[in-house]
Structure 1
Amino acid sequence: MTLELYLSMCAFIFGAVVGSFLNVCICRLPLNESVISPPSHCPRCSCGIRWYDNIPLISYLLLRGKCRGCGLHISLQYPLVELLNGLLTLALFLRFGPTFSFLVLFLFCSALMVITFIDLEHQIIPDEISLPGIVLGFVFSFFLPNHSWLNSLIGILLGGGSLLLVAYGYHWLTGKEGMGGGDIKLLAMMGAFLGWKAIPFIIFASSLIGSVIGISLMLIHKKDSKLAIPFGPYLAFAAVLYIFWGRQLIHWYLTLGSSLQS
């Protein structure tokens, strides 16, 4: 086994293990429960989960998706979060290697994972993640290559301010709340970690993806034209797109625009 393959496997396993903790955050933060105590337990029978039943991915397969204590089905969310976080960590490692940038973006993407699944189920984005994330992203900007505190600060102001203007504008035009404060804080956190140049891409990409998916869902659920669709997951997906392919996509878009004009 080569060193590169070994490190890649370690990155995936590390991401999956952290994904197990992210599941705890996803389940407990909306309920204002501690993510540390009590230890992991079945949410239905409250039976404590033994260490050998808490191995990411493997335990779920061995138990066939059921609790050892009560035999009831365990949500597919648990292995899904572990798998996605493992794959995302592996992708970050292959892209950035064992660097400080990798660690910072790993923390950022793990936070996005928690936010995505909480927003999908509860339509909220917990301040416990976004607000400390804004501060951490700004602090990390002093130590990251090709980044600066000014870039991060402008990103915070542009990210939070742009959605705040959209929210006020929508409320002024319709008299209704169209965007939650959680989305505003989330985009400010993204600006802190990724800088101001990421914000236009994230807004455009998330709006495009959200429009396509939203229209598709409304066509499927024709009887419910007021279907509530959380925007946080689209912002998170667009931020991950920017990390890996943002600059290439922007360059492709600008090149395409220039060729169409000529």
Structure 2
Amino acid sequence: MAPEALLAGVLGVLVGSFLNVVVHRVPLGLSVVRPASRCPGCGHEVRRRDNVPVLSWVLLRGRCRDCAAPISVRYPLVELATGALFALVTAHVGVTWALPAYLYLAGIAVPLTLIDVDVHRLPDAIVLPSYPVALVLLTLASAGTGDWAALLRAVAGGTVLLLLYFALFVAKPGGMGLGDVKLAGVLGLHLAWWGWDALAVGAFLAFLLGGLVAVPLLLLGRAGRRTKVPFGPAMLAGALTALFAAEPVGRWYLSLIGLPTA
């Protein structure tokens, strides 16, 4: 692994520790800054030495130092998953002007996925601020590269995907949540800046992955036609996958219909 990807992975693990707080507190409407983290069992404030990502959980054997209450394995898994995402995104995007925008996308993907699975909601507290953040970071990326067409494409793509989801929301009430519609615009900005092929592949994969999750649940009787299956995780997974897969998928499709690939 390249040194820059390794460093990004370490950064991701540290960010993942904070994202654990976000996942727990944002759905409850609590501040992610204060108070300091406490054990839900005994109420003791978590010591700094016990708040080292992954390592503290391992050394404590997954239990609180004061009351021995179990600490969910999800905490280190979130930290490791965020680290892996940061490393993969850095290895693919490279140390470029665009990297901060896509690390941000990877960063919000983790808490939004877990919160949507937990409470079937994509909080405005995370999604809405992502619009100005994405626009600023993508503007800096275009300024750094001189590719202003990419920024115009991002705005157009974000608008198109937002309107598409809104049309689906209106056409089939209950089919998806308003949070999905709001998230679509954020994903459209990032995908379209990368390229029209990324936008097309990301949009398609969202519905493909959503179907791959929903259909087995229906067949196994664990969900009915009126059961709300979180769609945010499929949207986020489709968008991140598109960053890596859009180019080869585009080449494959062009070759399939007999058009030149270069």
Alignment TM-score, normalising by the size of structure 2: 0.88
The letter of the residue matching 2:255 is: T
The letter of the residue matching 2:253 is: Y
Aligned to 1:150: 152
Between the aligned residues of both structures, percent identity stands at 32
Contact 2:217 2:223 in 1 (8 A): no
Q: CA deviation at 1:105?
A: 0.8
- Once residues 79 and 222 of structure 1 are traced to their aligned partners in structure 2, the CA distance between those partners, rounded to angstroms, is 29
RMSD between superposed Cα atoms in Å: 2.0
Work out whether 1:165 is the aligned partner of 2:167. Answer: yes
- Once residues 58 and 239 of structure 1 are traced to their aligned partners in structure 2, the CA distance between those partners, rounded to angstroms, is 31
Structure 1 residues 133-170: Cα deviation after superposition (integer angstroms, max 9, x where no partner): 11222222322245633212212211210000011111
- Once residues 220 and 240 of structure 1 are traced to their aligned partners in structure 2, the CA distance between those partners, rounded to angstroms, is 28
The letter of the residue matching 2:250 is: I
- Once residues 88 and 254 of structure 1 are traced to their aligned partners in structure 2, the CA distance between those partners, rounded to angstroms, is 29
| Correspondences of 1:111-260 after superposition (within 5 Å) | 111-144=108-141, 145=145, 146=147, 148-171=150-173, 177-195=174-192, 197=196, 198-221=198-221, 224=224, 226-258=226-258
- Once residues 157 and 222 of structure 1 are traced to their aligned partners in structure 2, the CA distance between those partners, rounded to angstroms, is 35
Rate the CA distance shift 1:224–1:141 in 2: closer, same or farther, 3 A: closer
The letter of the residue matching 1:131 is: L
Rate the CA distance shift 1:168–1:86 in 2: closer, same or farther, 3 A: same
- Once residues 66 and 78 of structure 1 are traced to their aligned partners in structure 2, the CA distance between those partners, rounded to angstroms, is 12
Q: Which moved more, 1:250-259 or 1:240-249?
A: 250-259
Contact 2:206 2:234 in 1 (8 A): yes
Aligned to 1:174: none
Alignment TM-score, normalising by the size of structure 1: 0.88
Contact 2:54 2:76 in 1 (8 A): yes
- 1:31 maps to which of 5, 28, 32: 28
List runs of 5+ in structure 2 lacking aligned partners.
none
**Consecutive aligned runs of 4 or more in structure 1 exceeding 4 Å deviation:** 222-225
